Amino acid sequence: MDRLNGSANLMIVSDLDYTMVDHDDSENLSLLRFNALWEAYYRHNSLLVFSTGRSPTIYEELRKQKPLLTPDITIMSVGTEITYGESMVPDDGWKQYLDHKWNRDIVVEETAKFPELTSQSETEQRPHKVSFYLEKGKASKVVQALSKCLENRGLDVKIIYSNGIALDVLPQAAGKGRALDFLLQKLKTDGLGPLNTLVCGDSGNDAELFGVPQVYGVMVSNAQEELVEWYAQNARDNAQITHATERCAAGIMQAIGNFNLGPNVSPRDIKDSIINIKVLSPSHEVVMFYLFYERWMRGEIENSEQYIQNLKSIFHSTGNSVHPSGVDRSMQQIIYTLPKMFGEKKGHHFRVWIDRVSFAEVSLGSWLVKFDKWELSGNELRCCLTKVLMNSKVDAPNKFTWMHLHQSWLDGSEGKDDTPWFI
Ligand code: GLC
Ligand code: MG
pLDDT at 345: 94
- Which residue from 71, 75, 72, 70 is spatially nearest to 56, judged by alpha carbons? 75
Query: Given the CA of residue 166, which atom of ligand 1 is nearest to it?
Result: 10
Q: For residue 134, how far is the Cα from the chain centroid?
A: 30
Whether residue 327 sits in one domain with residue 233 = no
Please state, for a pLDDT cut of 70, what percent of the chain lies above it: 96
Domain assignment present for residue 30? The answer is: yes
pLDDT at 280: 83
Cα(210) to ligand 1 centroid in Å equals: 18
pLDDT at 278: 80
- Which residue from 82, 68, 70, 55 is spatially nearest to 23, judged by alpha carbons? 68
C-beta of residue 410 within 8 angstroms of C-beta of residue 385: yes
- pLDDT band with cut points at 50, 70 and 90 for residue 419: low
Domain assignment present for residue 421? The answer is: no
Whether residue 345 sits in one domain with residue 209 = no
Residue 224 CB–ligand 1 contact under 6 Å:
no
- Which residue from 293, 219, 277 is spatially nearest to 41, judged by alpha carbons? 277
In the predicted structure, residue 84 carries a pLDDT above the cut 80: yes
- pLDDT band with cut points at 50, 70 and 90 for residue 421: low
| Amino acid found at 227 | L
CA distance linking residue 380 with residue 350, whole number of Å: 9
pTM score of the predicted model: 0.95
Tell me the β-bridge partners of 130. 169
The span from the first CA to the last CA of the chain, in angstroms, equals: 29
- What single-letter DSSP state applies at residue 279? -
Q: Which of 135, 152, 171 is the last residue of a domain?
A: 171
Domain assignment present for residue 95? The answer is: no
Whether residue 207 sits in one domain with residue 84 = yes
- Which residue from 228, 170, 266, 218 is spatially nearest to 13, judged by alpha carbons? 218
Q: Which of 143, 171, 199 is the last residue of a domain?
A: 171
Q: Tell me which of 131, 133, 159, 165 to substitute to probe ligand 1's pocket, judged by most ligand atoms within 8 Å of the beta carbon.
A: 131
In the predicted structure, residue 417 carries a pLDDT above the cut 60: no
pLDDT at 393: 79
| Edge-to-edge strands, sheet with 241-243 | 89-90, 81-84, 73-76, 47-51, 10-14, 196-201, 216-219, 241-243
pLDDT at 305: 84
Residue 165: nearest ligand to its CA?
A: 1
- For ligand 1, atom 8, name the residue with the nearest CA: 54
Query: Given the CA of residue 17, which atom of ligand 1 is nearest to it?
Result: 7
- Phi, psi for residue 282 in degrees, rounded to 5: -60, -35
CA distance linking residue 72 with residue 142, whole number of Å: 37
Q: Which of 223, 240, 267 is the last residue of a domain?
A: 267
**pLDDT one-digit tens code per residue, 350-366:** 999 999 999 999 999 99
Specify the pairing of strand 89-90 against strand 328-330.
Answer: unpaired
- pLDDT band with cut points at 50, 70 and 90 for residue 113: very high
Cα(279) to ligand 2 centroid in Å equals: 35
Whether residue 363 sits in one domain with residue 226 = no
Whether residue 106 sits in one domain with residue 56 = no
- Backbone CA torsion sign across 404, 311, 325, 301: positive
Domain assignment present for residue 414? The answer is: no
Whether residue 385 sits in one domain with residue 276 = yes
Q: For residue 81, give the CATH number of its domain.
A: 3.40.50.1000
**pLDDT one-digit tens code per residue, 364-402:** 999 999 999 999 999 889 999 999 999 997 777 778 999
**Mean pLDDT, to the nearest integer, of 271-286?**
79
pLDDT at 395: 77
Cα(18) to ligand 2 centroid in Å equals: 5
Query: Given the CA of residue 160, which atom of ligand 1 is nearest to it?
Result: 12
**Mean pLDDT, to the nearest integer, of 268-285?**
81
**Mean pLDDT, to the nearest integer, of 195-199?**
98
Whether residue 158 sits in one domain with residue 189 = no
Range of the domain at 202: 11-90+175-267
pLDDT at 54: 98
Residue 285 CB–ligand 1 contact under 6 Å:
no
- pLDDT band with cut points at 50, 70 and 90 for residue 4: confident
**Mean pLDDT, to the nearest integer, of 401-406?**
95
**pLDDT one-digit tens code per residue, 148-188:** 999 999 999 999 999 899 999 999 999 999 999 999 999 99
- pLDDT band with cut points at 50, 70 and 90 for residue 273: low
pLDDT at 400: 92
**pLDDT one-digit tens code per residue, 209-256:** 999 999 999 999 999 999 999 999 999 999 999 999 999 999 999 999
Average pLDDT value over all residues in the chain: 93
Whether residue 284 sits in one domain with residue 136 = no
pLDDT at 326: 86
Residue 19 CB–ligand 1 contact under 6 Å:
no
In the predicted structure, residue 342 carries a pLDDT above the cut 80: yes
**pLDDT one-digit tens code per residue, 315-337:** 999 999 998 888 899 999 988 88
Q: Exposed/middle/buried for 211, CB within 10 Å: 0-12, 13-18, 19+?
A: buried
Q: For residue 135, give the CATH number of its domain.
A: 3.90.1070.10
- For ligand 1, atom 4, name the residue with the nearest CA: 53
- Helix, strand, coil percent values for the chain (each to nearest 5): 35, 30, 40
Sorted by sequence, the CB contacts under 8 Å of residue 364 that are 6+ apart come out as 394
CA distance linking residue 242 with residue 176, whole number of Å: 19
pLDDT at 35: 98
pLDDT at 398: 78
Residue 74 CB–ligand 1 contact under 6 Å:
no
Domain assignment present for residue 216? The answer is: yes
Residue 383: helix, strand or coil by DSSP? strand
Q: Tell me which of 15, 78, 130 to substitute to probe ligand 1's pocket, judged by most ligand atoms within 8 Å of the beta carbon.
A: 78
Please state, for a pLDDT cut of 90, what percent of the chain lies above it: 82
Domain count, the chain: 3
